[in-house]
């Protein structure tokens, strides 16, 4: 399983290095979304910070800054859909799923490999988008460890659930439109937990964020587990 | 392709008279009249009516109608307004039973999916699909009646209450399940994927429900619950609603399953026709073999 | 008080059920009419 | 996977068939010419040598594999395969023995490609019975084993456009658990060894792409070659090479099923011709050996 996973991941990443689709197309798309959110939500509006003011921070914060963590994760989700689509496109462009099956690769290995490769790509993407969001939405980091943990766990959860559902929807038609319908409701809790953890990492206090990171960890384990178990039955007769 | 077209043409010719005798005047009594109508016209094959009805479903339909009428009578007329929410509380008599039917539907989907994965029989696949469709429809009822109840009670149609929010997410998830069932895939592949999704969806429902609960709980506490005091007559109305909706749900489930079964039979028949046509093609086309 | 919401709710639910039931029955007949009797037997 | 350090895990089916201890030495002895593509090794006609040379599992088959080499490699009876509600195969009956080269001909849409995909274990049987290389086609677990032992050269080339020829072939070799060092001779044999090695597959010509696809299939060392229009898109040299490769495959105990419209080229090779018409296998015609 791990041998196959590593092989698949290396192959997918090499293809990405060669084609630069995620970095060259998905990342600009994400940055564009960040800018568009800024236009849609006026950066001038100010809100009173919730609860007690935090030392070192102004009491008043623009609406845009306030909702920035959510916007960031929304952008990541939309971008991840594109990255996942790409991940399956490279297998279906020349019937390669047939060859993967003929090679007798472990379906769980294929799943993990795809997940690993997309995680690697998304982490790069998130780093860039995170810097972008910090600049565009005027955010300051208070707890880097919390943020990093949340990002890694959320990315793993998004990718594993996304890979599973993209495989489920892969077929002759309608994948492009069906995948968001299947994936986004499932990822709603991940969006929620990741946003709240990020809010704590940005606005503090960090102690509020760790329970959500724990929840993200549970999601991650759950979706990776479900993916490993059910990827075989999904791929079997396709 | 030619086979399908051919069959469709034949079907159109035949179904014209049979839909004509379906009652068009009163859709409310549709199931009951429909049953009788087909029994009369189909006297030759009384035991096998054309559509999805049968003796069992006719009885079930009558029971559902009676219970539904009783619910309306008790819910809207006999039982009085509730102390806090006044007449809006009457929505409970359809809201809560819809919840029950929706959740039963999704539970049956789970059971059907698990059994399909174990036995690989089309029966369980069709059961799971039929139950999911009914679950989705009743979840829509839950959301709509929930919102209609919310307006007079909370002053807004939509409150980000954990229950409403997670129900909405669940609703979309099962729409996705139905979409997977409609994918253009080989039948076995589609059934298999639907079954996997039918199982995973339940896990997702719990995850979504739990996390949203936690989210709202942490943020503003569960202050949104409204005091209710149900007297005996109200509880009786609610009970009647449960009975009526569960019977209706069962009736719908049986019919939806049978529709799926008939469609399955139809696709099997189309396939047999297509095989027969290919056989004919093989016999006439051997000339190619000799020529080449 | 609030009867309009009550009627709207009951209307949507009952109307929906009736619509769906009618749809199932007509669809069932349409498909059933295309099938020979031996193919439309159910275990009752 | 590796239960014995000195024994390289090389066979595609090593996971399935535990090798008998006694044959390890014979297996290791055969290592130097373990990839039998060179004409010289094919001339060594003795069954003993060639068996060892081809791949470990050909040697295993007498002792461990359920397919004992006698009887039919492909045995279909009234096989029906449905693709998108269409019965691409509508009751095909076929029997093919080991070592045969069977030409499958027939008009477009007759079901040739479906027949090959069925024999590769890629699609399920809707009805009828089928047995390929000793694997029952109605059993999805056995079909999975069959996939590893059969090689399909399809219209699709199974190559990643963004990777180079070398990267593609190495990836598939590793995926198939084939020793990567045995792949280089294959690339050379298909004239992909030089400059083309490091060219991205996406910028290859159709014929070169086809060669890469052939290299991919051969490097798996399948026991059953399923060739769908193998001559299509190849130049004259490529066609001759293809025929030579088929000849070698047969010499080392493989069986070849070849669907082609290029009847002159293919009939010269075939020991038997079957005609697929309307999802049926209509006639069988034997050629002089």
3-class SS string, chain D: CCCCCCCCCCCCCCCCCCCCHHHHHHHHHCCCCCCCCCHHHHHCCCHHHHHHHHCHHHHHCCCCCCCCCCCEEEEEEEEEEEECCEEEEEEEEEEEECCCEEEEECCCCCCHHHHHHHHCCCCCCCEEEEEECCEECCCHHHHHHHHHHEEEECCCCCCCCCCEHHHHHHHHHHHCCCCHHHHHHHHHHCCCCCHHHHCEHHHCCHHHHHHHHHHHHHHCCCCEEEEECCCCCCCHHHHHHHHHHHHHHHHCCCEEEEECCCHHHHHHHCCEEEEEECCEEEEEEECCC
Does residue A8 have a pLDDT over 90?
yes
- DSSP label at residue A207: G
Phi, psi for A22 (deg, rounded to 5): -70, -45
Chain D residue at shortest CA distance from B266: D85
* Nearby residues of C14 by Cβ (< 8 Å), 6 or more positions away: B28, B68, B94
Q: Please indicate if any CB of chain C lies within 8 Å of the CB of B258.
A: yes
* Cα B1 to Cα A45, B185, B262, D158, D183, distances in angstroms: 61, 16, 20, 30, 45
* Closest alpha carbon to A112 in A217, A187, A236, A7: A7
Inter-chain CB proximity B211 and A189 less than 8 Å: yes
* Closest alpha carbon to A104 in A229, A228, A1, A6: A1
What would the pLDDT profile of A160-182 be if each residue is shown by its tens digit?
999 999 988 876 555 678 889 99
Inter-chain CB proximity D83 and B186 less than 8 Å: yes
Between D54 and B265, the more confident residue is: B265
Report the pLDDT averaged over residues C15-34: 92
Inter-chain CB proximity C2 and B152 less than 8 Å: yes
* Closest alpha carbon to A97 in D156, D223, B268: D156
Interface subset of B 99-118, CB within 8 angstroms of A: 117
Interface subset of B 236-275, CB within 8 angstroms of D: 267, 270-271, 274-275
Distance CA(B16)–CA(B44), nearest Å, equals 18
| Per-chain mean pLDDT for chain B | 77
B285 vs D contacts (CB less than 8 Å): 107, 277-278
* Closest alpha carbon to B124 in B136, B134, B103, B110: B110
Write down which chains contact chain D via at least 3 CB pairs under 8 A.
A, B
Q: Please indicate if any CB of chain A lies within 8 Å of the CB of D198.
A: no
Architecture of domain B55-222+232-265: Up-down Bundle (1.20)
- pLDDT score, position B16: 33
At A48 the three-state DSSP class reads strand
For an interface test with B, give the residue of D80, D86, D278, D283 to mutate (most B CBs within 10 A).
D278
- pLDDT score, position B171: 95
- pLDDT score, position A233: 85
Inter-chain CB proximity C13 and B145 less than 8 Å: yes
A19 vs D contacts (CB less than 8 Å): 162
D106 vs B contacts (CB less than 8 Å): 288-289
At A103 the three-state DSSP class reads coil
A7 vs D contacts (CB less than 8 Å): 171, 174-175
At A46 the three-state DSSP class reads strand
- pLDDT score, position D16: 38
C25 vs B contacts (CB less than 8 Å): 22, 30-31, 34, 51-53, 255
Beta carbon pairs, A and B, within 8 Å? 80
pLDDT category, B89, cuts 50, 70, 90?
confident
pLDDT category, A48, cuts 50, 70, 90?
low
Inter-chain CB proximity A237 and B183 less than 8 Å: no
- pLDDT score, position D70: 56
* Closest alpha carbon to B52 in B38, B69, B66, B64: B38
Q: Residue D97, Cα to own-chain centre: how many angstroms?
A: 15
Q: What is the DSSP string of chain B?
A: -HHHHHHHHHHHHHHHHHHHTS--S-GGGHHHHHHHHHHHHTGGGTTS-SSS--HHHHHHHHHHHHHHHHHHIIIIIIS--BTTTBGGGGGHHHHHHHHHHHHHHHHHHHHHHHHHHHH--HHHHHHHHHHHHHHHHHHHHHHHHHHHHHHHHHSSS----HHHHHHHHHHHHHHHHHHHHTSSS-HHHHHHHHHHHHHHHHHHHHHHHHHHHHHHHHHH-S---------HHHHHHHHHHHHHHHHHHHHHHHHHHHHHHHHHHHHHHHHHHHHHHHHHHHHHTHHHHHH-
- pLDDT score, position D21: 33
Q: Please indicate if any CB of chain A lies within 8 Å of the CB of B187.
A: no
Inter-chain CB proximity D147 and A172 less than 8 Å: no
Please name the residue that has the structure tokens 């609860």. A51
- pLDDT score, position B286: 56
Interface subset of D 153-182, CB within 8 angstroms of A: 154, 156-163, 167, 171-172, 174-177
What would the pLDDT profile of D18-69 be if each residue is shown by its tens digit?
333 333 333 333 333 334 443 333 333 333 333 333 334 433 333 334 455 5
Distance CA(B179)–CA(D102), nearest Å, equals 43
- Helix B187-220 and helix A210-235: axis angle, to 10°? 170
* Cα B89 to Cα A185, B75, B222, D199, D275, distances in angstroms: 30, 10, 20, 73, 74
Under 8 Å between Cβ of A76 and A122: yes
Domains of chain B by residue range: 55-222+232-265
First to last CA, chain D: 42
- pLDDT score, position B44: 40
Q: Is the ipTM of this complex over 0.85?
A: no
Lowest mean pLDDT among A70-84, B37-51, B144-158: B37-51
Counting residues of chain D whose pLDDT is more than 70, the rounded percentage is: 75
Torsion of CA C11, C16, C19, C21, to 10 degrees: -120
- Verify cis geometry, omega within 30 degrees of 0, for the bond prior to A205: yes
Distance from the A51 Cα atom to the nearest Cα atom in chain B, whole angstroms: 11
At A215 the three-state DSSP class reads helix
What would the pLDDT profile of A108-144 be if each residue is shown by its tens digit?
999 999 999 999 999 999 999 999 999 998 888 888 8
Write down which chains contact chain B via at least 3 CB pairs under 8 A.
A, C, D
First to last CA, chain A: 20
* Closest alpha carbon to A28 in A128, A127, A177: A128
Please name the residue that has the structure tokens 């077929």. A171
- pLDDT score, position A155: 96
* Closest alpha carbon to D91 in D125, D141, D44: D125
Under 8 Å between Cβ of D11 and D65: no
Does residue A91 have a pLDDT over 80?
yes
pLDDT category, C1, cuts 50, 70, 90?
low
B270 vs D contacts (CB less than 8 Å): 85
A186 vs B contacts (CB less than 8 Å): 173, 204, 208
Distance CA(A206)–CA(A203), nearest Å, equals 8
pLDDT category, A237, cuts 50, 70, 90?
low
Considering A104-108, B39-43, D42-46, D267-271, the range whose residues carry the highest mean pLDDT is A104-108
Distance from the B130 Cα atom to the nearest Cα atom in chain D, whole angstroms: 22
What would the pLDDT profile of B206-226 be if each residue is shown by its tens digit?
888 888 888 876 554 444 455
Distance from the B150 Cα atom to the nearest Cα atom in chain A, whole angstroms: 23
Lowest mean pLDDT among B115-124, B212-221, D99-108: B212-221
Distance CA(B118)–CA(C9), nearest Å, equals 41
Distance CA(A32)–CA(D281), nearest Å, equals 58
Under 8 Å between Cβ of D64 and D17: yes
pLDDT category, B178, cuts 50, 70, 90?
very high
Q: Please indicate if any CB of chain D lies within 8 Å of the CB of A7.
A: yes
For A7, which of D120, D158, D175 is closest by C-beta distance? Answer: D175
* Nearby residues of A77 by Cβ (< 8 Å), 6 or more positions away: A158, A184, A187, A191
B191 vs A contacts (CB less than 8 Å): none
D220 vs A contacts (CB less than 8 Å): 102-103
- pLDDT score, position D20: 34
- pLDDT score, position A172: 57
Write down which chains contact chain C via at least 3 CB pairs under 8 A.
B
Between A148 and B75, the more confident residue is: A148
Does residue B142 have a pLDDT over 50?
yes
Inter-chain CB proximity B204 and A185 less than 8 Å: yes
Inter-chain CB proximity B262 and C31 less than 8 Å: yes
- pLDDT score, position A15: 93
Report the pLDDT averaged over residues A3-25: 91
What would the pLDDT profile of D149-196 be if each residue is shown by its tens digit?
899 998 888 999 999 999 999 999 999 888 888 888 888 888 888 888
For B274, which of D86, D107, D280 is closest by C-beta distance? Answer: D86
What would the pLDDT profile of D104-147 be if each residue is shown by its tens digit?
988 888 888 899 999 998 888 888 889 999 888 888 888 888 99
* Closest alpha carbon to C35 in B259, B229, B205: B259
Under 8 Å between Cβ of D103 and D262: no
For D90, which of B184, B275, B286 is closest by C-beta distance? Answer: B275
* Nearby residues of A133 by Cβ (< 8 Å), 6 or more positions away: A34, A68, A71, A72, A75, A139
Distance from the D175 Cα atom to the nearest Cα atom in chain A, whole angstroms: 6
- pLDDT score, position D32: 34
Distance CA(A195)–CA(A191), nearest Å, equals 6
Counting residues of chain A whose pLDDT is more than 70, the rounded percentage is: 90
């Amino acid at each position: 399983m791990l041998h196959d996973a590593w092989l698949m991941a290396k192959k997918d990443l090499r293809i990405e290095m060669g084609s630069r689709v995620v970095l060259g197309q998905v990342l600009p798309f994400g940055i564009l979304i960040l800018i568009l959110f800024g236009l849609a939500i006026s950066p001038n509006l100010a809100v009173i910070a919730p609860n007690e003011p935090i030392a070192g921070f102004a009491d008043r914060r623009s609406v845009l800054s306030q909702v920035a963590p959510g916007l960031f994760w929304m952008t990541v989700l939309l971008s991840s859909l594109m990255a996942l689509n790409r991940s399956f496109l490279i297998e279906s462009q020349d019937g390669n799923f047939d060859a993967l099956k003929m090679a007798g690769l472990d379906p769980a290995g294929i799943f993990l490999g795809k997940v690993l490769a997309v995680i690697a790509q998304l982490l790069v993407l998130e780093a860039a988008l995170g810097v972008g969001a910090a600049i565009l939405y005027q955010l300051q980091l208070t707890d880097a460890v919390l943020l990093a943990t949340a990002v890694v766990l959320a990315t793993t959860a998004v990718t594993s659930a996304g890979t599973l559902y993209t495989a489920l929807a892969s077929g002759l038609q309608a994948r492009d439109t069906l995948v968001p319908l299947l994936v986004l409701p499932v990822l709603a809790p991940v969006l929620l937990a990741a946003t709240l953890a990020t809010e704590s990492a940005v606005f503090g206090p960090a102690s509020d964020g760790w329970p959500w990171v724990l929840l993200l960890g549970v999601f991650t384990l759950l979706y990776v587990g479900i993916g490993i178990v059910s990827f075989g039955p999904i791929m079997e007769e396709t | 392709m030619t086979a399908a077209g051919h069959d469709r043409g034949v079907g159109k010719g035949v179904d014209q008279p049979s839909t004509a005798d379906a009652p068009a005047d009163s859709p409310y009594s549709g199931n009951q009249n429909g049953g009788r109508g087909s029994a009369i016209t189909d006297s030759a094959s009384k035991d096998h009516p054309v559509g999805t009805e049968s003796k069992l479903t006719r009885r079930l339909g009558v029971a559902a109608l009676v219970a539904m009428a009783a619910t309306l009578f008790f819910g809207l007329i006999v039982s009085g307004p509730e102390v806090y929410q006044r007449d809006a509380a009457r929505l409970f008599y359809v809201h809560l039973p819809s919840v029950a039917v929706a959740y039963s539907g999704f539970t049956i989907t789970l059971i059907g999916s698990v059994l399909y994965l174990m036995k690989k029989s089309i029966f369980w696949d069709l059961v799971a699909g039929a139950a999911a469709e009914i679950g989705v429809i009743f979840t829509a009822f839950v959301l709509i009646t929930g919102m209609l109840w919310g307006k007079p009670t909370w002053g807004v149609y939509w409150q980000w209450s954990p229950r409403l929010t997670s129900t909405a997410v669940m609703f979309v998830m099962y729409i996705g399940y139905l979409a997977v069932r409609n994918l253009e895939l080989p039948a076995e592949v589609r059934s298999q994927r639907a079954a996997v999704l039918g199982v995973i969806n339940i896990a997702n429902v719990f995850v979504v429900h739990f996390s949203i609960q936690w989210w709202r709980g942490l943020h503003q506490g569960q202050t949104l619950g409204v005091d209710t005091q149900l007297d005996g007559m109200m509880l009786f109305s609610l009970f009647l609603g449960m009975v009526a909706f569960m019977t209706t749900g069962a009736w719908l489930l049986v019919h939806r399953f049978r529709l799926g079964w008939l469609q399955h039979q139809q696709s099997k028949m189309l396939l047999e026709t297509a095989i027969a046509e290919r056989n004919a093609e093989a016999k006439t086309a051997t000339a190619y073999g000799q020529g080449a | 008080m609030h009867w309009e919401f009550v009627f709207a709710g009951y209307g949507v639910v009952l109307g929906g059920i009736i619509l769906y039931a009618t749809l199932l029955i007509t669809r069932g007949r349409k498909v059933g009419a295309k099938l020979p009797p031996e193919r439309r037997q159910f275990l009752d | 996977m590796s239960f014995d350090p000195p024994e390289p895990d090389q066979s595609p089916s090593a996971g399935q068939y535990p090798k008998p201890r006694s044959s390890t030495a014979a297996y290791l002895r055969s290592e130097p010419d373990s990839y039998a593509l060179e004409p010289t090794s094919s001339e060594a006609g003795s069954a003993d040598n060639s068996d060892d040379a081809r791949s470990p599992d050909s040697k295993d088959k007498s002792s461990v594999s359920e397919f004992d080499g006698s009887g039919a490699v492909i045995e279909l009876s009234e096989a029906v395969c449905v693709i998108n509600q269409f019965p691409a195969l509508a009751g095909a009956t076929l029997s093919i023995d080991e070592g045969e080269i069977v030409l499958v001909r027939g008009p477009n849409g007759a079901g040739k490609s479906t027949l090959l995909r069925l024999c590769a274990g890629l699609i399920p049987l809707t009805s009828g019975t089928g047995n390929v290389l000793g694997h029952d086609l109605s059993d999805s677990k056995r079909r999975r084993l069959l996939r590893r032992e059969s090689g399909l050269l399809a219209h699709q080339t199974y190559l990643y456009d963004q990777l180079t020829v070398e990267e593609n072939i190495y990836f598939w070799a590793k995926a198939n658990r084939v020793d990567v060092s045995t792949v280089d001779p294959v690339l050379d044999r298909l004239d992909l060894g030089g400059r083309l090695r490091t060219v991205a597959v996406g910028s290859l010509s159709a014929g070169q792409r086809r060669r890469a696809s052939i290299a991919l299939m051969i490097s798996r060392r399948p026991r059953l070659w399923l060739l769908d229009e193998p001559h299509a898109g190849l130049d004259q040299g490529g066609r001759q090479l293809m025929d030579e490769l088929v000849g070698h495959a047969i010499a080392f105990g493989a069986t070849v099923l070849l669907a082609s419209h290029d009847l002159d080229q293919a009939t010269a090779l075939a020991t038997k011709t079957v005609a697929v018409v309307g999802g049926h296998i209509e006639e069988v015609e034997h050629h002089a050996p």
